[in-house]
């Protein structure tokens, strides 16, 4: 199945700027972007919540970029070109996700917390989704409900 925006010509920085403009338009009170290794991070504040999306970026050393579909090695320029295309696709997909979630909230289809729950940052720095995934696994394995959300860490 084809990926959304797999052939996009929209540069990654244009998609990041679009995300920032979208967040501003829907009332965000803060925005940041950064990266470390192969993870890009977009974070914002809205409705008294901090929301963080971690966007895994493709590894340019993967065979997907280094080799043609027939297994021949690509030139360094070709590797860069295919890797950049994969990065552009991911940024377009993130822009779509954020815009769709905000419009669903604005239209009254859903609530902010319901739409962004997995990406809301908890007081200890982890996202609700990162905290909840193992809790959900344990609940299904044991049939018992997890404890309440953790409180803030003591200094």
Q: Tell me how far apart the alpha carbons of residues 59 and 9 are, in angstroms, rounded to a whole number.
A: 20
- Provide the edge-to-edge strand list for the sheet that holds 30-36: 30-36, 39-46, 49-56
Could you give phi then psi for residue 54, rounded to 5 degrees?
A: -105, 120
pTM beyond 0.75, yes or no: yes
N- to C-terminal Cα separation, the chain: 49
What integer pLDDT is reported at residue 122 of this predicted model? Answer: 95
User: Alpha-carbon Rg of the chain, whole angstroms?
Assistant: 19
> pLDDT truncated to tens, each residue of the chain (155 aa)?
889 999 999 999 999 999 999 999 999 999 999 999 999 999 999 999 999 999 999 999 999 999 999 999 999 999 999 999 999 999 999 999 999 999 999 999 999 999 999 999 999 999 999 999 998 998 899 998 877 666 666 55
Residue 144 confidence (pLDDT): 85
The pLDDT of residue 154 is 57
Q: Is 97 helix (H, G, I), strand (E, B) or coil?
A: helix
Identify the pLDDT of residue 155. Answer: 52
The phi, psi pair for 119, rounded to 5°, reads: -105, 0
d(CA 6, CA 133): 29
Query: How far, in Å, CA of 136 to CA of 144, rounded?
Result: 10
Instruction: Give the model's pLDDT for residue 146.
Output: 75
């Amino acid at each position: 199945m084809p990926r959304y925006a797999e052939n996009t010509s929209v540069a990654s920085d244009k998609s990041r700027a679009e995300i920032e403009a979208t967040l501003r338009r829907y009332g965000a009170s803060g925005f940041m972007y950064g990266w470390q290794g192969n993870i890009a991070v977009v974070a914002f504040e809205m409705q008294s919540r901090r929301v963080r999306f971690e966007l895994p970026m493709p590894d340019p050393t993967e065979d997907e970029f280094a080799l043609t579909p027939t297994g021949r090695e690509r030139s360094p320029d070709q590797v860069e070109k295919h890797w950049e295309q994969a990065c552009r696709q991911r940024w377009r997909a993130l822009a779509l996700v954020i815009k769709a979630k905000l419009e669903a909230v604005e239209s009254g289809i859903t609530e902010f917390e319901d739409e962004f729950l997995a990406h809301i940052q908890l007081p200890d720095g982890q996202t609700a989704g990162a905290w909840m995934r193992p809790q959900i696994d344990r609940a299904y394995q044991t049939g018992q409900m997890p404890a309440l959300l953790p409180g803030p860490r003591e200094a």
